[in-house]
Amino acid sequence: MVDEPIRTLIVEDDALLADAHRLYVERVPGFTVCGVARSGTQALRMALADRPDLLLLDFYLPGMTGLEVCRALRAHGATADIIAVTSARDLATVRAAVSYGVVQYLVKPFSFAAFRQRLERYAVFHRRTTADPAGPVGQDEVDSALAVLRPDTARSAHQPKGLSTATLDTVVAYLRSAPNPVSADDVAEELGMARVTARRYLERLTGQRLATRTQRYGRSGRPGNLYRWNGA
């Protein structure tokens, strides 16, 4: 069954930024923009009427602040997830945002890569927590769902020896575009690298829960690994 796109409401009073965020969202598979609000009061009205899955919420808004929007949404029983997209960076605001259930916090200015990473990780969280919302889960499932929301901010600074961020991004792009699970041989041939190198990058993504590894059996009976992108 094909997952329904994540309906996203953009809340941003700056017209240029609102357009940019719309374009950003439309570039990330699995998401669709269901509206753009230019003030806090408009955001609250649209969120309660349209019931989006996700709000991309600025905190500095006319009419109502972003935090006031969060508080009002929860008071009305709205369960939409919220990603803060704001220049507010004081810890008091961050703590208040967390208390209102903000699941991600993206500080302006940011790159499209950072924006995409937040949305892709949120998409995994959304899928895992809505597949069977009434079913019981164990500690491992809870830990896994929450861990995927945390961005890998130390990836560039603490990349394992022998792995480069640029090559990792290339492997990610190939894996995301592949219609079917791929092997290390497939990645190596397509990207012009050694099989053992391709496997290291694929295992790195698997360890970050951004890729899923399965096994297949060939004619020799020996198992081989296949990898698929685990994001949106």
Cβ–Cβ under 8 Å, residues 228 and 24? no
pTM, two decimal places: 0.62
Residue 40 CB coordination number (10 Å): 25
CA 21, chain centre distance (Å):
14
Backbone angles phi, psi at 197, to 5 degrees: -70, -45
- pLDDT of 136 > 70? The answer is no
Query: Mean pLDDT, to the nearest integer, of 66-74?
Result: 94
Amino acid at 70: C
Residue 13 pLDDT level (bands cut at 50, 70, 90): very high
Residue 204 has pLDDT above 90, yes or no: no
pLDDT of amino acid 126: 85
pLDDT over threshold 80, residue 183: yes
pLDDT of residue 157: 43
Average of pLDDT values for 175-184?
A: 89
In the chain, which ranges are continuous DSSP H helix?
15-26, 40-50, 66-75, 91-99, 112-130, 139-147, 165-177, 184-191, 195-207
How does the average pLDDT of the chain come out, rounded? 83
Which of the residue ranges 105-109, 122-126, 161-165 would you say has the lowest mean pLDDT?
A: 161-165
**pLDDT above 60 for 174:** yes
One DSSP character per residue, 46-60 reads HHHHH--SEEEE-SS
Non-local (6+) Cβ contacts of 41 within 8 A are: 63, 64
The residues, ordered by sequence, that sit 6+ positions from 56 with a Cβ below 8 Å of its Cβ are 8, 9, 10, 11, 12, 21, 25, 83, 85
